[in-house]
Amino acid sequence: MNSETLCSLPSCSPFRFLTFKAHKRWERLDDFLLHSLNNYEKSPNGYSKLQIKKWIEQPRVFIHQKRVKRNSKIINRDTSVDFLYPETALKTLSDKIPILFEDEHYIAINKPSGLASQSTKNPEDPHCLNLVKFYLNPQPELLLNYAGLIHRLDQPTSGVIVYAKSKQANQILSRQFSHQRTKKEYLALSDRWESPNSVEVKAKLLRTKQGKGYVSKVDAKNGQDSHTSFELLGQKEGLYFIKAHPKTGRTHQIRAHLSYLGSPLLGDSLYGGTAHEDFALHAYKLSFYHFAQKKVVHIEAPLPESFLKFENLLK
């Protein structure tokens, strides 16, 4: 489909789509949901079996995209149960999220900076996957259509992210990502650059615990192979406009490699970047082989406002 004819994701969702996986056999669905929901919500009052029964009847519970009608259903180990969790305090995004590409197999959106690709530790936070699921399921009580995460962008990063509409489509494209068969192009800003105009960084990266989160540090002995190509596109107003092609897909790879070069991202305090209101990394282009169309699909995300002054430098 042409991106000019596409609409956008809803700015909020009345449901949060949750998936609970059984790590043992449960004799009753309602017992499993009661346990899972109380662990998820961590509410001092918890839920009751009567409430679970009502939700099953509404319906709010699905297995393999099919409605479950019996609260006494046996849940075997490794079974995934989808549940439409009612939002009590809707969080509405200030802007709708543009859809860049959509067909019967995939949907690609222009993720804004600050919005997570999937659920975070804070269940109150909106995230892209939930909004995609609600877009694909405007009446989820009738049918629960599949929406699956294939790859991720860091929460502060904007740009192209693709979700699958079927498990088959998910598996096929996930393999391309894991085998580095996709082509990704990012744009970045830094207030420092002392490298050649074109540079290849192959510094190995090790994901390391730091505080409450993780960082990727250069570690020649224990790190994983990591490869990023950088090209300086130009300079304006004391900022350097950089194109990045990650050849591998390590956590925070571009951020860590730019820091390694002495050119951390503008706004990326975690890796030594100068403080700024904007986080200057944008997933600009993504190309992959579409198994159904039997051709390479190219998806491009328009530049965020903070990058617009550099648009004429793009080649």
Residue 245 burial by CB count (10 A; 0-12/13-18/19+): exposed, middle or buried?
middle
Distance CA 97, CA 223 (A): 36
- Does the active-site annotation cover 154? yes
Residue type, 125: D
State the sign of the Cα–Cα–Cα–Cα dihedral 248, 249, 255, 256. Answer: negative
Give me the amino acid identity at 312: N
Question: Which position among 30, 154, 191, 278 bears the catalytic label?
Answer: 154
42 torsion bin: left (phi>0), alpha (psi -120 to 50), beta (else)? left
Residue in 140, 313, 136 with CA at minimum distance from that of residue 235 = 313
Q: Classify residue 145 as exposed, middle or buried by CB count within 10 Å of its CB (0-12, 13-18, 19+).
A: middle
User: In this structure, which amino acid lies at residue 185?
Assistant: E
In angstroms, the CA 301 to CA 99 distance is 9
b/e code 52-62 from CB counts within 10 Å (16+ = b): beebbeeebbb
Cβ atoms of residues 15 and 85 within 8 Å? yes
Pick from 158, 200, 175: nearest CA to 288? 175
Nearest-angstrom CA–CA distance, 204 and 116: 26
CA dist 146 and 65 (Å) reads: 7
Q: What angle do CA 242, 246, 250 make, to 5 degrees?
A: 125
Q: Residues with catalytic annotation?
A: 154
